[in-house]
Amino acid sequence: MDITNGKLPTASTTINSGTKVSRISFQNSLILLVNLYPECYVLTACPVNTCYFPVADRFIISGKGYGYILIKYFFKTIWQFDAPPEKVWELIKDARSMPEWWPGVKRFEILSAEQEMLPGCRIQASVKGLTGDLNFELEINKTVPCREIVMQSRGDLAGQGVWTLTPDNGNTISTYIWEVATTGRLMNAIGFFCKPIFIWNHNRVMNAGFKALKKRL
């Protein structure tokens, strides 16, 4: 993949695996870092908080200006509930009530007129973070009632989430995959050093949600 096919200013040589870099610059250093650690970073042009993008892929958003390194995160959370998927689904789809029972979730407001978690539905979310509130917008791409929700995120967190419910002998195995990158300059600046702490905080919020959801079933 030619990683210089975006419109970021770079040296004249393409930096791909096995290609010699003829001139070291700030931009080339960023590109090289992304190539060496594609599972950790993504390079993009600013602004990114208005764009959805798949952080699982390595690419550059077309645009002018210098590149910015975004810190990537991959979370996989598995819960088990002593209740069938239908009952768990009834609580999950009631997005507006989440701030009432999920500690750390400050806002989860459906912006669409239908007020239901259907494809095309947009949700404004706010979650308490270590450096301040994380504000992002979710757009539902796919729903399979009682089985799956697929969503994209933009704002302070850009990426994709997939929440699946699997029946298990009258119980439910819940699997939530959250693959995002932080877009805020502060979180990306200190993310090089504080990523383990941010991961810990995410797990703490998810554990609080699990306990609260389990009590409501």
pTM > 0.85 = no
Q: State the chain's mean pLDDT as an integer.
A: 75
Burial class (CB in 10 A: 0-12, 13-18, 19+), 36: exposed
**How many C-beta neighbours within 10 Å does residue 168 have?**
12
Cα distances from 18 to residues 14, 21, 32, 58, 85, in angstroms, run 10, 9, 12, 17, 49
Q: What pLDDT, on a 0 to 100 scale, did the predictor assign at position 190?
A: 81
Q: What is the Cα gyration radius of the chain? A: 19
Preceding amide of 99 cis, omega within 30: no
Q: Quote the pLDDT of residue 192.
A: 73
Helices (H) and strands (E) in the chain, counts: 4, 8
> In sequence order, which residues have a C-beta less than 8 Å from that of residue 212 and are 6 or more positions away?
101, 102, 103
Cβ burial, residue 103 (10 Å; 0-12/13-18/19+): middle
Contact criterion met (CB below 8 Å) for 179 and 160: yes
- Cβ neighbours of residue 1 closer than 8 Å, sequence gap 6 or more: 16, 58, 59
Query: Is it the case that residue 52 has pLDDT exceeding 50?
Result: no
Mind listing the pLDDT tens digit for each residue in 89-136? 999 888 888 999 999 999 999 887 777 788 889 999 999 988 889 999
CATH class of 73-216: alpha beta
Domain boundaries, the chain: 73-216
Coil, strand or helix: which one is 216? Answer: helix
Residue 40 confidence class, pLDDT cut points 50, 70, 90: low
Distance separating the N- and C-terminal Cα atoms of the chain: 48
The C-alpha angle 199, 136, 132, rounded to 5 degrees, equals: 55
| Confidence tier at 38 by pLDDT (50, 70, 90) | low
